[in-house]
Amino acid sequence: MEKQGKILIVDDNEDLLKAAKMHLKRHFIQVDIEKNPEAIPNLMNNEDYDVILLDMNFTKDVSSGKEGYYWLEKILTLDPSAVVVLITAYGDVQMAVKAIKAGATDFVLKPWENERLLATLNSAMKLRESRDQVETLKIKNQEINEALNEKYSDILGQSQAMQRIFQTIDRVAHTDANVLILGENGTGKELIARAIHRNSARKHESFVSVDLGSITETLFESELFGHKKGSFTDAKEDRPGRFELANGGTLFLDEIGNLSMPLQSKLLSALQNRRVSRVGSNKDTAIDIRLICATNMPLYDMVKENRFRQDLLYRINTIEVQIPPLRERFEDIPLLANFFLKQYADKYGKKISKISDGALARLHKHNWPGNIRELQHSVERSVILSNASVLQPDDFSFNVSSASSDSDQKLNLDQFNLEEVEKILIRKVLKKYNGNITHAASELGLTRSSLYRRLEKFGL
């Protein structure tokens, strides 16, 4: 087995040092010994040790361990991730406990058994490796976050409407104000929520996203507030809810307009009290979250119709952000289309360099009822099907119905194929229910997941 690891032993007993080095050098790549603890700072500056074996007492006839505590603190000041194993000739459990509380990893008693000493050092080595790996991960995550955290790196827009959105984010991100994001399907509401989080003081904490439209009434409390093992049939273990997972960070509640009135009451209670209780538990847990909500539904009309609680609306909309549909920011279409072109050309290995002016003109004429999501799918489809280096107008196909209003769309089987009829019908039902996926799926006789698949397929 290949030797690895660098060990430093600091003890005033020269015979012990020589014996320890003779034994350990067979197992570790480097074993340094030192009688004088005053040399520790210099040794640590010149070498990166995996484990430091440190005597508790350096003064003759002293057994208090004060010197050991002093040098332990000194070592951890020089290197907070240092792994220190203390050596003592006295089996004082209280001293050992105090040393470990002060930051030591373990302790060994003199005289030691060689195999026990080796086992202790090998365990300490593994701890050092783990600490190094964690530190590496932290650095990597920080680098990734710094790349992602370039202002609005994943939100594209040069239009005045989007510049106003960016200005709003700048003003509200550093606060803890609750934010309500309004906008049609496919406008990028979650991207805005993530941008607010990434530009906030909570950016190093969790961003937890919850699709409220996909949570059933029976699982609402379990999903949001957590549950205790055995609290219901499938509760096989304790599980924290989304509120606890987001503690210290940001909780994003998407499709909040889909909540029933009873669930709105439960949510409001948690937000007012800033405490949650897991299903099956009487213990409350304090929560500290920044709340961001989003919906494509007309909440103010729903309040008038007694379908949404006014007090809940006031609770979630300290700041409102209205995301414009793509048809109101046509000047952003070239920027978005070229971004998706590069993304999918790379993904599918296509040498497509640009979108022609004619094709861009065709994109400008389309009404984009599915907003950015529809544009994204249109570009992806065009990249997949094209064999040219430049996308032309014919590479983009839209249904005849797309450019006209819903009132002009007739389900004429002579004019449309089955997929076109299905797309028109889905759009009509979505409009009828103001984009409410649950109600639309029910009327269409589909499950929510089936409707989502069709929306993805048709770019709606």
Residue 460: closest CA among 412, 415, 385, 402: 402
- For residue 13, pLDDT beyond 50: yes
Looking at mean pLDDT, say which of 14-18, 235-239, 253-257, 439-443 comes out highest.
Answer: 253-257
In the block, tokens 């007739």 appear at: 410
- For residue 414, pLDDT beyond 50: no
Task: Look at residue 93 in the predicted model and tell me its pLDDT.
Answer: 63
The pair of structure tokens assigned to 3 is 């030797």
pLDDT band at 435 (very low <50, low <70, confident <90, very high): confident
The pair of structure tokens assigned to 31 is 């074993």
Residue 411: closest CA among 403, 421, 402, 399: 421
SS3 438: helix
- For residue 244, pLDDT beyond 60: yes
- The number of beta carbons lying within 10 Å of the beta carbon of residue 228 is 17
Q: Span 169-180, mean pLDDT?
A: 94
| 441 vs 154: CA distance, rounded Å | 30
- For residue 262, pLDDT beyond 70: yes
Q: Span 200-212, mean pLDDT?
A: 91
| 98 vs 56: CA distance, rounded Å | 12
pLDDT band at 142 (very low <50, low <70, confident <90, very high): low
Q: Could you state, in order of their start, the residue ranges of all structural domains in the chain?
A: 6-140, 160-324, 327-458
Burial 347-357 (b: 16+ CB within 10 A, else e): eeebebeebee
- For residue 137, pLDDT beyond 70: no
Yes or no: say if 48 and 6 are a contact pair by the CB < 8 Å rule. yes
pLDDT band at 59 (very low <50, low <70, confident <90, very high): low
The pair of structure tokens assigned to 288 is 């500290």
In the block, tokens 């606060």 appear at: 175
| 178 vs 331: CA distance, rounded Å | 30
| 347 vs 343: CA distance, rounded Å | 6
Fold that domain 327-458 belongs to in CATH: Helicase, Ruva Protein; domain 3 (1.10.8)
Tell me how far the alpha carbon of residue 321 is from its chain's centroid.
22
Terminal-residue alpha carbon distance, the chain: 60
The pair of structure tokens assigned to 52 is 């430091």
Task: Look at residue 8 in the predicted model and tell me its pLDDT.
Answer: 94
- For residue 397, pLDDT beyond 60: yes
**Taking all residues of the chain, what is their mean pLDDT, rounded to a whole number?**
84
- For residue 416, pLDDT beyond 70: no
Radius of gyration of the chain (CA): 32
- For residue 306, pLDDT beyond 90: yes
- Element spanning 240, H or E: strand 239-240
Of 74-78, 128-132, 358-362, 425-429, the least confident: 128-132
Residue that wins the pLDDT comparison between 192 and 454: 192
pLDDT band at 409 (very low <50, low <70, confident <90, very high): very low
Q: Do the domains spanning 6-140 and 160-324 agree at the CATH topology level?
A: yes
Tell me yes or no: is domain 160-324 CATH 3.40.50.300. Answer: yes
Tell me how far the alpha carbon of residue 30 is from its chain's centroid.
41
Of 19-23, 108-112, 120-124, 168-172, the least confident: 108-112
Task: Look at residue 164 in the predicted model and tell me its pLDDT.
Answer: 92
Of 97-106, 149-158, 178-187, the least confident: 149-158
pLDDT band at 106 (very low <50, low <70, confident <90, very high): confident
Residue that wins the pLDDT comparison between 156 and 458: 156
| 343 vs 361: CA distance, rounded Å | 21
Q: What is the pLDDT of residues 314-343, one digit of tens each?
A: 999 999 999 999 999 989 999 999 999 999
Multiple choice CATH, 6-140, 3.90.1640.10, 3.30.70.120, 3.40.50.2300, 3.30.160.60: 3.40.50.2300
Task: Look at residue 400 in the predicted model and tell me its pLDDT.
Answer: 42
| 213 vs 251: CA distance, rounded Å | 15
